[in-house]
Amino acid sequence: MSGTGRIMRGLGEAPAGNQGAMAQVAVVVHEEKLAAVRGADPRELLRAALLARGEPPPKLYPTSSGDAGEGATRAALAEGAQLVVVCGGDGTLNACAAALAGTGVPMAVVPIGTGNLVARNLGIPRDLASAVATAVGGAERPVDLGRLGPPDGGVLVGMAGVGLDAAMVQDAPKALKRRVGWPAYVVSLVRHLADRGFPAVVEVDGRRSRHWNVRTVVVGNVGALHGGLALFPDAQPDDGVLEVAVLAPRTVLGWIPVAARLLRGGGGPPTVVRRRGRHIVITGRGSLRREADGEPLPDGSVLDVTVEPGALLLRTEG
């Protein structure tokens, strides 16, 4: 029997004749992230929590190098899953959300990724035991998604960006990410603070504005970055709109007042422009680095995002 097969049997893979009941709760797990978890195995915590409630044990759906979680989630739905628990980081959460959008099947999250930015913004506990308790007994809350337009496809749950934001995410040292988590992004950020700016056109619900010397443009469904920075102080994940911020400090030192204002959650200096709307299109000159929920997108000149209000049903603390 393969290692995955042994794990699935340990999690309560359904015996013959009872497959439907045993597939009621699905666990989509990023096994590489799981290997770095210290302490209790969240799969076993989930199994114990469900059995304590008199419910059948969960069924495991591992991600793979060719499937970040969307295919695993679709397989779980096809087998009758009534709750999908995501054990992974922002990228795994994003992929699973793409499959769950509009289905009415709730998602729960046990955050074991590097940044877990979405989970932090949406009130998912960082402690694994508390996250498991929320997964099996939390309240369900509809939240918005951003739908990425051509040529990308897929969804946005937390934030997406072009320029510095994407370069920071893509170039964070992998070994350091495994050791220290999100502070690894700071190392990458510092390396890219002096990157050249670019011109960009930002279209929000059909209204265009032009910007010069842009360092990064971020679209957000949530508001808080790591380190206490509030990029979108008024963002709500269920208000039916998306936020967009254009950051264009003229020099490296120009980032200092930007960071200071974001730490205070203020409106930002003149080099930070914020807008909000239902359909946001960012168009740059040439090929730009891009990301969505911490996962790289192919380089391109356009990022097109449309809000889908209440498209994802998420379990949070009651």
Q: Provide the pLDDT for residue 74.
A: 98
Which sign, positive or negative, has the C-alpha torsion 150, 154, 159, 165? negative
Residue 238 region, left (φ>0) first, then alpha (ψ -120 to 50), else beta? alpha
Q: Pairing state of beta strands 83-88 and 107-111?
A: parallel
CB-CB contact of 33 with 177 (8 Å): no
Query: For the segment 8-63, what is each residue's pLDDT rounded down to a tens digit?
Result: 333 444 333 333 343 389 999 999 888 888 888 999 999 999 999 989 999 999 99
Which segment of 183-187, 210-214, 279-283, 305-309 scores lowest on mean pLDDT?
Answer: 183-187
Neighbouring residues of 153: CB distance < 8 A, sequence distance ≥ 6: none
Instruction: Please state, for a pLDDT cut of 70, what percent of the chain lies above it.
Output: 86
Instruction: Give the best-scoring range by mean pLDDT among 77-81, 112-116, 225-229, 246-250.
Output: 77-81
Active site residues: 295
If you average pLDDT over residues 113-129, what whole number do you get? 91
- Residue 86 has which token pair? 């995501």
Q: Which of 86, 83, 102, 196 is nearest to 147 (CA)?
A: 102
Query: For the segment 167-207, what is each residue's pLDDT rounded down to a tens digit?
Result: 887 877 676 666 766 676 677 777 878 788 999 999 999 99
Rounded to whole angstroms, how far apart are CA atoms 230 and 268? 10
Q: Hey, which residues does 147 pair with through a beta bridge?
A: 155, 306
What domains can be seen in the chain, in order of their start residue?
3-137 (3.40.50.10330), 155-309 (2.60.200.40)
Crossing angle of the two packed helices 70-78 and 90-100, in degrees rounded to 10: 40
pTM of the model: 0.86
Instruction: Please report, to the nearest 10 degrees, the dihedral formed by the alpha carbons of residues 9, 12, 18, 20 taken in order.
Output: -110
pLDDT band at 266 (very low <50, low <70, confident <90, very high): low
pLDDT band at 318 (very low <50, low <70, confident <90, very high): low
Rounded to whole angstroms, how far apart are CA atoms 135 and 123? 12
Q: Which 3 state secondary structure label does DSSP give 94? A: helix
- Residue 153 has which token pair? 């496809």
Task: Tell me the HSE value of 15 on the side-chain side, using a 13 A CA sphere.
Answer: 1
pLDDT band at 2 (very low <50, low <70, confident <90, very high): very low
Query: For the segment 135-147, what is each residue's pLDDT rounded down to a tens digit?
Result: 999 999 999 999 9
What is the number of other CB atoms lying within 10 angstroms of the CB of residue 18?
10
Q: Pairing state of beta strands 59-62 and 25-29?
A: parallel
For 44-75, b where at least 16 C-beta lie within 10 A, e where not — what string? ebbbebbeeeeebbbbbbbbeeebbbbbbbbb
Q: 4 pLDDT exceeds 60?
A: no
Q: 262 pLDDT exceeds 80?
A: no
pLDDT band at 87 (very low <50, low <70, confident <90, very high): very high
pLDDT band at 3 (very low <50, low <70, confident <90, very high): very low
